[in-house]
Amino acid sequence: MTRKTLTLFDPALVRPALLEAFKKLDPRVQWRNPVMFVVYVGSAFTTALAAIKPEGFTAAVALWLWFTVLFANFAEAMAEGRSKAQAASLRGLKKQTWAKKLDGQFDRTTPRTEMTWLPLEAAHLRKGDVVLVEAGDTIPADGEVIDGVASVDESAITGESAPVIRESGGDFSAVTGGTRVLSDWIVVRVAVNPGETFVDRMIAMVENAKRHKTPNEIALTILLVALTIVFLGVVVTLLPFSLFSVQASGAGEPVSLVVLVALLVCLIPTTIAGLLSAIGVAGMSRMMQANVIATSGRAVEAAGDVDVLLLDKTGTITLGNRQASQFVSAPGVTDAALADAAQLASLADETPEGRSIVVLAKQKFNLRERDLSSLQAVFVPFTAQTRMSGVDLPGPRLLRKGAADAIRKHVEALGGRFPTAVQTAVDDVSRRGSTPLVVADGAHVLGVVELKDVVKGGIKERFAELRRMGIKTVMVTGDNRLTAAAIAAEAGVDDFLAEATPEAKLQLIRSYQANGQLVAMTGDGTNDAPALAQADVAVAMNTGTQAAKEAGNMVDLDSNPTKLIEIVETGKQMLMTRGSLTTFSIANDIAKYFAIIPAAFVTTYPQLSALNFMHLASPSSAILSAVVFNALIIIFLIPLALKGVAYRAVGAAALLRRNLAIYGLGGMVVPFIGIKLIDMVLAAAGLT
């Protein structure tokens, strides 16, 4: 999609985020985050104490507590700002357009020039309306092409400048409102009502992402609230304990309310609580940067928890453009005769496979293309029922090419026999991972054309990475088992489903889910819709049918089936970021124990001064330094929350060890250094 790339702290983002941070001080907003609401109440309480009894220490603590709340608000506002910028670029696609609406019922047999098309504002179109879109027109709404074929510029949505073909029937019939027809014409049946278009859903998704917590986020919030309640209980008991200790020892002073508030704020998990919402919104934003639109944060999170990936062979694992590589003739038939028949059967076949047969025959045997009209040829198109195509020539010659079992049935129906040698050749070709096409002239089998589909470079390594992460990869293909097994072995997938039907895909997904596993898959056709609806993460191609897009919970604007791997990586990155910052947040409390607790009780228990190994200047400086560090660390972690931690394809155990080593150990060490440096600054400034 066309969008302006913004840097992490771009002024266009920072200025609105600062203003939004103050707007979020509304108690109704703060209440949504229970942990930060405790900090919010503590800030208001210390401010009241400072107003009642003006004192530099109390005012400083109150000021930095407010900074803690503001920095947390700023982190969330920055993440939301990036999403709003994306929404603004999408909103630019929504412009008022006029449509040519059909007056009456659509009849395919009636020429479009004889139908009545009335001008109508696109905003007034309703689901089921039929519109005509000609060269130069903007498609007024999302819909399905029901007649015609046209070249469409979808760069406003996908960012790709190359036009795409949209036509009635098949898996490339869906069109998106806001895109433009470059040539020819199409008749479109509107699929949505105003406000429900694809662009509308994208805008709503990015604008509302912050309002919907995912299950993992809710679970983590409950944990953080529980920790906050525990620390609140501990801090509340410290006041009577302090009063009793001072009375019993006859020395020192009771701990002040300001110190108790500071201790509470520093001990509760404010760091992760302040960044939690930002992490979730940033995860959605990273999906959009990858040109993937998710219907909810739940879908993004599920992508990070996926156990099984279902991947189509063609276009995902292989390049998808099978090419004829050799002719394998039957006994008693020359390769030249086979090539001649295969070329004749492919002259009207405009598929890449058909064109490659014509080219191979020309290259190997110098057979030139023939004119079908001069040959009085009748082309027989491929159908899903017959699984073969060909041409009828005078003679009569019934030339057919297709799947081995389909040609076998055809030949036997004409009274012929399927040679054993040809079946052996079919099996050999299949074992090599290629696709065999059998050619027949009436009841006489001529041989086999081998079609090769090349496995994508680097895909095997990608699958190995997924395996290290504990994700199982399953290749789904309509090929026979032999071909599927050969391709699966070459690509390095864990399993495969051959001769896949919609029912077989659905059954496979359900079997994995019955074992408690989360399943992700891609699809673009109407026949993929049931499986997409069943999968936990369902990525529909933007070029696919409306049924597929409605069944999925993500839409890939680039229509790249391999994008599923990137989606899983993005989802895992979001979970890794959340886990890393949670570890850091909990670990950095340790330093605050050594800073605040000795400072709070040293007058009553002088022995606690031994815990002040950081040699902080004074009790007030120790407490204020801890509060300042607690606020500043949120700012320093905002880039990590927005960009996410570096993704690594490692298993859960290795990831946990790395997390504890970097963010656990780092979370313990960094606060000691930070608090000491802040204390030195306060001492140098004479503020202790």
Query: Over the Cα atoms of the chain, what is R_g?
Result: 34
Q: Shortest CA distance to 309 belongs to which of 319, 317, 318?
A: 317
- 312 catalytically annotated: yes
Q: Shortest CA distance to 130 belongs to which of 143, 148, 111, 113?
A: 143
Q: Shortest CA distance to 439 belongs to which of 324, 311, 550?
A: 324
Annotated catalytic residue, options 129, 147, 153, 312:
312
Angle CA(469)–CA(470)–CA(472) in degrees, nearest 5?
Answer: 115
C-alpha to C-alpha distance for 204 and 621, rounded to whole angstroms: 48
Q: How many CA atoms lie within 13 A of 153 on its CB side?
A: 15
Angle CA(646)–CA(228)–CA(48) in degrees, nearest 5?
Answer: 115
Per-residue tokens: 335: 């390769």
Angle CA(262)–CA(265)–CA(268) in degrees, nearest 5?
Answer: 145
CB 284 within 8 A of CB 83: yes
In the sheet that 554-556 helps form, which strands lie side by side, from edge to edge? 292-294, 554-556, 537-541, 519-523, 308-312, 472-476, 495-497
CB 532 within 8 A of CB 538: yes
Cα-Cα end-to-end distance for the chain = 54
Q: Where are the alpha helices (DSSP H) in 92-214?
A: 155-158, 198-208
CB 574 within 8 A of CB 283: yes
Angle CA(442)–CA(443)–CA(444) in degrees, nearest 5?
Answer: 90
Scan for tokens 């930070």, then name that residue: 674
In sequence order, what are the residues at sequence separation of 6 or more whose Cβ sits closer than 8 angstroms to the Cβ of residue 268? 35, 38, 39, 224, 227, 228, 231, 232
Per-residue tokens: 647: 């993704």
Chain center to CA of 260: 44
CB 150 within 8 A of CB 165: yes
Determine the number of helices (DSSP H) and then strands (DSSP E) in the chain.
Answer: 24, 20
Per-residue tokens: 567: 């989606």
Chain center to CA of 685: 50
Per-residue tokens: 517: 């596993």
- Beta-sheet pairing, 117-121 with 378-380: unpaired
Instruction: Check residue 91 and report its DSSP letter.
Output: H
CB 280 within 8 A of CB 209: yes
Q: Shortest CA distance to 410 belongs to which of 435, 388, 382?
A: 388
CB 286 within 8 A of CB 87: no
CA distances from 79 to 216, 284, 686 (A): 19, 10, 37
CB 342 within 8 A of CB 361: yes
In sequence order, what are the residues at sequence separation of 6 or more whose Cβ sits closer than 8 angstroms to the Cβ of residue 235? 260, 263, 264, 267
Scan for tokens 């051959």, then name that residue: 498
Per-residue tokens: 189: 């049946």
Q: Shortest CA distance to 347 belongs to which of 326, 323, 367, 364?
A: 367
Active site residues: 312
